[in-house]
Chain A
């Protein structure tokens, strides 16, 4: 589904190189965890995959379902099934959550040549998905992420994912700022979306999220490249030893 080859990325307006030859292959049905210390390039990877401005790819390629992902606009990527659950979801005052979700879903459907969803069907879909994430109607009435607690914001991200049904989910530090109960709700939401034709990249600093979202592969990111890959036991190893070994190795 996703082939990242020798990806080099720098900040657009500075010389600082953030990704430095990253290679990763993700197949449909797989869950990949990317772990690494602060500043290793985890969030940059998520932004480059979703098309945020401010980054410049200097070398390498990203192929998604056989197409050049980097040539697509952010909205095209979304319409083709790429979804980023933000580490810090953006608050948009004045834009109602339901309206936002409906415009997003129907924009994607339109881009894919599908019929727009009717309002009653849409309401039913959102209510059903929201209930599973303990999201009540009063939260849906508020403007996008405005006044949401940290946990509510993360649940709202997963709700968007559940409604938009993407093929490739990138979760950026979805566990940050969550207590154990909130993390369980979020993880259950994510797990219910696991399917043979959907892939996930779970970016996290800590191992604890991976107790709930069990990955097929774990990669260690350090200084902009993957320095070690393994099974889920690698995450436990990192939890015990920390990242020091990899930082010196990469240096």
Chain B
């Protein structure tokens, strides 16, 4: 069969994933990438645009130090480098060990212009934020690549925020290595512009006795596809990968997680809480692999969707591939609308229908926020969620 190449493929030699590829069956980039989105465009941002976007970050007051990337390039004048040792302006794209048969990574390797390279030693409670901004300009690809290394025994909280205005395709690849006995709490917030496309891949390798808590809020972009791979390389390690969707309009978000248990005595948990309104479509594909040597693995994943309209849709594809014989693994997925008994009970006590619904939705996503240890970050997310809910409030 001859497949006609898309404009983006013809112009930039790319090969976009499409629905015949199992992992991409719900997110056909040949259709969803609707324009050429040329890469490596130089866009000079007006300071007032940058300022407006900076102010719109939910974490404006939370982060201790912050690296700001504007249109794919580090902007030192907007950054607060305090805690961070950064290597400015260096393209890190190609010097990576992660496999490149992933289309998002291939594209990123070709197009990345900049990114953060962080090596964190010691322990800090103050969050470090990587903030990626896109200002309004002609449609283009903005690709960045980060390499984060948490050294032996270190502990850090890292925020990754994506904000923007206009039409663009953001491609973000992050490589994370957590060293022996280290801890990383990572919070990613995707609030790209309403017309943007967000493609991401995060590849995490975990050493011995590490703790990795990963949370992603997905609420921006018209099309979103986020891949996550977590490799367990050392025993006694715990990883919790959680997330929340708050989607409306015609938004499309697809998360593909691969949890790869390679060694014994590790624990993994995936918990996703997805709220979808209007014609939004959410997808959660979670795969847990337990290799032959990974005995005593404890791995569980769950995804829960709350559909606020009859036209919203949620697809879950949980998979377990177990090659070891002494493990505890499980998965569960639910999808439905608000519980009518709960609603009636709240209303019967005088809470008007719209408020009663908001309270129940906030409680539903709040269960995912509760997994975040940092109080300031949690509060910022609750505030964001309340704002989202007030924009999606209706009585019937």
Contacts and interface: CB of A to CB of B under 8 A. Distances in A.
Contacts of A94: 363-364, 366-367
A91 to B, nearest CB: 9
A74 B347 contact: yes
Interface of B: 340-342, 344-353, 355-356, 359-360, 363-364, 366-367
Given A50-B348, A75-B350, 8 more contacts: A73-B352, A75-B356, A84-B348, A90-B345, A100-B349, A103-B351, A104-B349, A104-B351
Nearest to A91: B342
B20 to A, nearest CB: 41
Interface residues of A, number: 29
B350 A92 contact: no
A9 interface: no
Contacts of B352: 73, 75, 107, 111
B353 A111 contact: no
A34 interface: no
Contacts of A51: 347-348
Task: Identify the interface centre among A77, A107, A111, A160: most chain B CB within 10 Å of its CB.
Answer: A107
Contacts, number: 70
Nearest to B363: A94
18 contacts: A51-B347, A52-B348, A74-B344, A75-B352, A83-B348, A84-B348, A89-B345, A92-B342, A92-B345, A94-B363, A94-B364, A95-B360, A103-B359, A104-B346, A104-B350, A104-B351, A107-B351, A108-B350
Contacts of B360: 92, 95
Contacts of B342: 90, 92
A78 interface: yes
Q: What is the interface of chain B mostly: helix, strand, loop, or mixed?
A: helix
A107 B350 contact: yes
Contacts of A95: 359-360, 363
A86 interface: yes
A79 interface: yes
B346 to A, nearest CB: 7
Nearest to B345: A90
Contact of B346 (A73, A84, A92): A92
Contacts of A89: 345
A53 interface: yes
A164 interface: yes
Contact of B350 (A86, A90, A93, A164): A164
A164 B349 contact: yes
A95 B341 CA distance: 14
B344 A78 contact: no
Nearest to A93: B363
Nearest to A109: B350
Nearest to B342: A92
Nearest to A77: B348
A74 B343 CA distance: 10
Contacts of A108: 349-350
Given A53-B340, A94-B364, A95-B359, A73 B353 contact: yes
A144 B351 CA distance: 14
A90 B339 CA distance: 11
Contacts of A164: 349-350
Task: Identify the interface centre among B346, B349, B356: most chain A CB within 10 Å of its CB.
Answer: B349
A78 B350 contact: yes
Contacts of B356: 75
A21 B347 CA distance: 27
A78 B366 contact: no
A77 B351 CA distance: 10
A75 B363 contact: no
Interface in A113-145: 144
Interface in A140-180: 144, 160, 164
Nearest to B354: A75
